[in-house]
A = this chain, B = another copy of it.
Amino acid sequence: MDIDELKQNIVTASHILHQQGIAAAFGHVSARIPGTNTFIFPPRMSPALVRKDNLLILDVDGNQLSGDGRPNTEFWIHARIYQARPDVQSVCHVHPPSCVVLGSLGETIRPLHASGAVFKNDVQVFDPITLIRTRELGDDVAKTLGPHGAMLLRGHGVNVADKDVRRVCIMTLWMEEAANYQLRAMSAGKPRFFSPEELQVIYPQVSGEEVSNRTWVYFSSRLDS
């Protein structure tokens, strides 16, 4: 995948997240330039307004290597996750409504339906109330994420990190869906969350790449309609 294709994926993912109500004026999706400690990152504007020609390039030490705009102030989330996790090729930071509300309850994602099982019981919570505008906070966030693919920042939003932009986009959509279902279930009664044994059955059925790819194809098709 060349840089142009990576940029196109960032633009598509940004527009999908916007169209699906995951992001409005804020939030950012990035991609590592393969094999480097640098990453493509959006400027300080709504994901709805991101285009291939306004994307920036930063490195894991927070240096801006190219692009005219100023980066979003929380670029340290991306920079330090790329530093800590060589396997991660894309990162997303957004403030999805249901995830924010769920986090404010001192809760995290607890799967109760098939798609939600992709998160198992691995979604850690970053508890301090602050934007992530320093290298140190970026390191703290990366430490809370650990070896997993998604985390909540209480009273703030979520970070998702995965093997490519497409999967990061879809995992973010699924995370908001899971949080929304969990909140609705908690409002109406006492949810039966999946047991470890149930997760062991359903996780391999829903976490494969074919499933997320089909979801990406679907949501991409909605951008033109």
Interface residues of A (CB under 8 A from B): 24-26, 44-46, 48-49, 95, 97-98, 100-102, 104-107, 112-115, 129-131, 133, 154-157, 180-181, 183-192, 194, 198, 201-202, 205-206, 214-215, 217-219, 221-222
Contact = CB atoms under 8 A, between A and B. Distances in A.
Contacts of A156: 113-114
B105 A189 contact: yes
B189 A188 contact: no
A73 B222 CA distance: 23
Contact of A101 (B97, B105, B184, B217): B184
A131 B49 contact: no
Given A114-B155, A131-B114, A214 B104 contact: no
B131 A202 contact: yes
Nearest to A100: B113
Contacts of A154: 192
22 contacts: A25-B214, A25-B218, A25-B219, A45-B218, A48-B221, A49-B221, A101-B113, A104-B112, A104-B191, A104-B192, A106-B189, A114-B157, A129-B201, A130-B202, A131-B205, A131-B206, A155-B194, A155-B198, A183-B184, A183-B187, A184-B188, A187-B187
A105 B218 contact: no
